Amino acid sequence: MKRMMWLAGACLLGGLMVAAMVSGLQGSAQAAEATASAVNPGAVVINEVAWMGTEASSNDEWIEFYNNTDSPIDIGNWSIYGADTGECLNFSDADGSTTTIIPAHDYLIYANHADDVRGSGGASIVDIWDATIGMNNTSPGQIILYDAPNCGGDAIDTVNQTTGDWFAGDAADRKTMERKNPTAPGTDGSNWATNDPSAARNGLDADGNPINGTPKAQNSCYQPPAADLVVAKTGPVTVTPGSLITYHLILSNTGTAVATGTLLTDTLPAGVDFIAQVGPF
């Protein structure tokens, strides 16, 4: 998302420094309702993929979803392409579920079986289970989350590349593929990493072995969204002594987080006096 702010200033030849306080960069997050519709792409993302299964069984594959919004979202009537490689699966056709609602800024586990993923106390933390799940270890293609049945409607999130192997994960050590930034594209390989158990891991598999992943917990490689501010200045190349100069300062945020409390200063060259600035701030 790009946020842009304009400042206009009029100057005479003289000599001073101009400073402008930039505010109003806050943007309201678009909230999603707890329904299977009216959500924007990226509202729910595929946050972790255990395409290699667990130590208990290579068939015990699971996917973690994360809700990026401030409201719960129900995915009960949604569908997913590629959780069974090359096929579309409806969540409404799954073998069972305890819930299909993802709380705000929280997780949901979609697994092959009801007991594939357990908490530290041994109780299952799987929310939706479907024995049809089966992801190829090589040449898996993409996983695409849709907000309607039968892989219709809008694509809410897309993960991995169309050709080649998985961006991350380790089949030998059963280490999951984790998303670094849940607000950055899932098709960017640099936004994924293999779980680092020494940094973070969570949960137990069906046999009680520690999972080399972070189901329903912050990923070991998590990188919080950050603002990325860029300043551009436009104005005349030359000016006649005694004349007015009008120029613009453009402040853009090309990052994934809202920037607040930003201070922008602009130093005028020698021989220029500040007259006035025109803008909403």
Is 255 within the bounds of a domain?
Answer: yes
Give the integer Cα–Cα distance in Å for 126 and 129. 7
Is 273 within the bounds of a domain?
Answer: yes
Is 36 within the bounds of a domain?
Answer: no
Is 274 within the bounds of a domain?
Answer: yes
Say what the pLDDT of residue 21 is: 35
Range of the domain at 182: 44-194
Say what the pLDDT of residue 237 is: 76
Contacts of 242 (CB under 8 A, 6+ apart): 12, 13
Q: Do 130 and 89 fall within a single domain?
A: yes
The tens place of each residue's pLDDT in the chain, 281 residues long, gives 333 333 333 333 333 333 333 333 333 333 334 544 479 999 999 999 999 999 999 999 999 999 999 999 999 999 999 999 999 999 999 999 999 999 999 999 999 999 999 999 999 999 999 999 999 999 999 999 999 999 999 999 999 999 999 999 999 999 999 999 999 999 999 999 999 999 999 999 999 999 999 999 999 999 877 666 777 778 787 778 877 877 777 777 766 567 766 777 777 777 777 777 776 65
Counted domains in the chain: 2
Q: Do 19 and 64 fall within a single domain?
A: no
Tokens of 183: 């607000």
Say what the pLDDT of residue 40 is: 97
Say what the pLDDT of residue 192 is: 99
Q: Do 104 and 52 fall within a single domain?
A: yes
Is 240 within the bounds of a domain?
Answer: yes
The answer to whether residues 179 and 219 touch, using CB atoms and an 8 Å cutoff, is yes
Say what the pLDDT of residue 246 is: 79
CATH code of 51's domain:
2.60.40
User: Shortest CA distance to 173 belongs to which of 51, 49, 63, 54?
Assistant: 54
Say what the pLDDT of residue 254 is: 62
User: Shortest CA distance to 49 belongs to which of 183, 151, 158, 207?
Assistant: 158
Say what the pLDDT of residue 141 is: 97
